[in-house]
Amino acid sequence: MYPQSFGFGFSMISEAEILHIINEIHQYDAILVELKDGAIFGIFKGIESEPVYFRTKIHARTREERRALLDAITISISEAHFDAITLETLLNGLRGMKARHVWLERRSPPEREMAFLNLRELQDHLRGHHG
């Protein structure tokens, strides 16, 4: 059975979860949230204090594809297939939706990627590793 049968994964995304995650992620962290329709919404916190929000329809199923997407965003490659969006657009796009996949990529040493069942699990992880 898939974990959703036990109440995990596929929970509805709330605005409070999104805002909490934005406040908790560290500089150079990136969050990718893939929805059931294949759209990916992301948050990247770079050098500036304000996060960058984006969405894309490109496939990012493998670590290499996600890495290439984030590399394109961090150096603003114009031919990359992503749209820079506002916080309001991010909230409207995710609120009430169900995530298929959630990834956190730590882009500062030691670099690593972590996968989560939903935003609530990511939020719990960030709360436990704050500071």
Evaluate if residue 97 carries a pLDDT over 80.
yes
* Top-confidence range, 76-85, 88-97, 106-115: 88-97
The residue-averaged pLDDT of 54-60 equals 88
Q: pTM for this structure?
A: 0.83
> What is the pLDDT at residue 10?
55
The residue-averaged pLDDT of 72-87 equals 77
For residue 7, with 0-12 CB atoms within 10 Å meaning exposed, 13-18 middle and 19 or more buried, which class applies? exposed
Domain ranges of the chain: 14-128
